[in-house]
């Protein structure tokens, strides 16, 4: 992976507001610079694993933190109870257990089988279920199994996508930050609307690079081209798409909106 994209992804993490508020303290990171040994080729296509690796890179390059442990397996009586993502200390020398995640949820206003209105691309993953597991299971593990940790923190980034052309909800789930990053989602049948933004460029965000938009302008597509590409994509596969819509500002392309395109049957498995 090009180091500039790596640096851009890390800057995206630093700039992205926390997805959660309340309950646990939140890890704060700033002024991160990438060392030469952290220039790596992607080892995974999983966005979550890539995000965890970047957080590890950031902690190792933070003047304010010392990383003690990561990916600590908690096994008792031959059974895996869970894993502690990171254990570190800061300038106060307090040993801290931190759980990290990057999550993307779509606001679906209609009733559905999940019982939630904030659903992942995989409908079985909901915002409420993730938060419940994080707070009720993952964070408390260190109380019993890593007692050197005296503090627990979260570091959860991501985006909530709202339906194209719809109003924002009046009520949101407990713990969802009021300042969370927002994007737009639409069905595959509506991708023709992307051609309306005639002064825009589009780029396809391919896993694991769902963080900052791709830097390579050679990969940018015109509004007409992205419509044709997306329509062909959904003729061949139901896999959703992450797109970035960019506008030119002072000679540079800047992201105007992050888009998520889902198959027409989402979130229903059968219609």
- In eight-state DSSP terms, residue 136 is I
The residue with greater pLDDT, 33 or 140, is: 140
- pLDDT, tens digit, for every residue of 232-242? 999 999 999 99
Total Cβ atoms within 10 A of residue 87: 18
- pLDDT, tens digit, for every residue of 85-109? 999 999 999 999 999 999 999 999 9
The residue with greater pLDDT, 101 or 44, is: 101
Q: What is the pLDDT of residue 36?
A: 56
In the chain, where are the structural domains located? Answer: 3-262
- CA–CA separation, 230 vs 170, rounded Å? 32
- pLDDT, tens digit, for every residue of 223-262? 999 999 999 999 999 999 999 999 998 888 999 999 999 9
- In eight-state DSSP terms, residue 57 is H
- pLDDT, tens digit, for every residue of 105-123? 999 999 888 889 999 999 9
Model's pTM, two decimal places? 0.92
Choose among 24, 134, 156, 125: nearest CA to 84.
134
Residue 124 backbone dihedrals phi, psi, to 5 degrees: -75, -15
Q: Which whole number is the average pLDDT over 30-40?
A: 62
Judged by DSSP in three states, 264 sits in coil
- pLDDT, tens digit, for every residue of 145-158? 999 999 999 999 99
Angle at 134 between CA 65 and CA 182, to 5 degrees: 85
Q: How does residue 271 score in pLDDT terms, banded at 50, 70 and 90?
A: very low
User: Has residue 129 got a pLDDT over 90?
Assistant: yes
- CA–CA separation, 70 vs 83, rounded Å? 9
């Amino acid at each position: 992976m090009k180091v500039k994209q790596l640096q851009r992804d890390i800057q995206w993490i630093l700039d992205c507001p926390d997805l959660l508020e309340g309950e646990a303290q939140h890890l704060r990171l700033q002024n991160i610079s990438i060392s030469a040994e952290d220039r790596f080729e992607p080892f995974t296509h999983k966005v979550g694993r890539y995000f965890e690796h970047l957080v590890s890179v950031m902690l190792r390059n933070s003047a304010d933190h010392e990383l003690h442990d990561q990916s600590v397996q908690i096994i008792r009586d031959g059974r895996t109870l869970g894993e502690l993502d990171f254990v570190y200390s800061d300038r106060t020398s307090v040993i801290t257990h931190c759980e990290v995640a990057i999550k993307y949820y779509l606001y679906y206003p209609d009733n559905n089988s999940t019982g939630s209105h904030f659903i992942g691309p995989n409908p079985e993953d909901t915002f409420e279920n993730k938060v419940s597991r994080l707070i009720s299971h993952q964070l408390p593990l260190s109380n019993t199994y890593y007692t050197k940790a005296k503090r627990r923190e979260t570091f959860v980034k991501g985006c909530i996508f709202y339906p194209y052309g719809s109003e924002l909800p009046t009520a949101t789930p407990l713990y969802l930050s009021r300042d969370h990053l927002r994007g737009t989602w639409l069905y595959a049948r509506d991708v023709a609307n992307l051609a309306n933004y005639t002064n825009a460029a589009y780029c396809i965000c391919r896993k694991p690079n769902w963080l900052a938009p791709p830097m390579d302008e050679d990969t940018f597509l015109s509004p007409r081209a992205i419509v044709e590409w997306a329509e062909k994509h959904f003729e061949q596969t139901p896999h959703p798409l992450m797109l970035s819509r960019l506008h030119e500002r002072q000679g540079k392309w800047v992201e105007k909106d992050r888009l998520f395109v889902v198959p027409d049957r989402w979130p229903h498995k059968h219609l």
